[in-house]
C-alpha cells in the first residue's frame, strides 16, 4: 500500500509540472499581442534600437503556440572589461559570473 502512495504523489507532482510547463492555450491572439505591445511601450522597452518593437511584433504574430528553445552562445573578450558602475576592470569571465549569480546585479551596482 505504501508504494501506491509514492506513485500517487509522483503522478500528482508530474501533473502539476505539466500544467505549468506545457502551453495549453495555443498561439497568442491579436488582442493579446496588442496588449503586450502596449505594455512594452508603456514600460519604456524598445527605445534602444528602432527595429526592436517591429521585430517583437513579428515574433509574436508568427508564434505557433509551441514551445521553443533558446541557446545563448557567448564569446568572451580577451581583454579586461570595465564595470560600468564600479569602474573596476575584472576579467570578462569574472564579470559575467558576478552578473550571473543570484544578487549579482545588486552587488555589482553597489561596486562591491
Question: Is residue 79 a part of any domain in this protein?
Answer: yes
Are the C-beta atoms of residues 108 and 81 closer than 8 Å to each other?
no
- Does residue 88 or residue 2 have the better pLDDT? 2
Q: What is the pLDDT of residues 16-36, one digit of tens each?
A: 998 888 877 888 899 999 999
Question: Is residue 17 a part of any domain in this protein?
Answer: no
Which letter, b or e, does each residue of 2-36 get, where b requires 16 or more Cβ atoms within 10 Å of its Cβ? Answer: eeeeeeeeeeeeeeeeeeeeeeeeeeeeeeebeee
Q: What is the predicted pLDDT for the residue at 31?
A: 95
78 shares its domain with 107: yes
pTM over 0.75: no
Question: Is residue 76 a part of any domain in this protein?
Answer: yes
Question: Is residue 13 a part of any domain in this protein?
Answer: no
97 shares its domain with 112: yes
Q: What is the predicted pLDDT for the residue at 15?
A: 93
Amino acid at each position: 500500500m505504501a508504494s501506491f502512495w509514492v506513485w500517487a504523489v509522483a503522478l500528482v507532482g508530474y501533473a502539476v509540472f505539466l500544467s505549468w510547463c506545457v502551453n495549453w492555450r495555443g498561439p497568442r491572439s491579436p488582442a493579446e499581442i496588442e496588449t503586450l505591445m502596449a505594455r512594452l511601450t508603456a514600460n519604456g522597452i524598445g527605445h534602444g534600437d528602432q527595429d526592436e518593437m517591429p521585430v517583437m511584433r513579428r515574433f509574436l504574430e508568427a508564434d505557433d503556440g509551441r514551445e521553443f528553445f533558446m541557446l545563448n552562445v557567448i564569446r568572451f573578450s580577451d581583454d579586461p572589461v570595465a564595470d560600468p558602475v564600479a569602474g573596476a576592470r575584472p576579467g570578462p569571465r569574472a564579470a559575467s559570473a558576478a552578473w550571473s549569480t543570484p544578487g549579482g546585479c545588486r552587488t555589482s551596482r553597489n561596486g562591491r
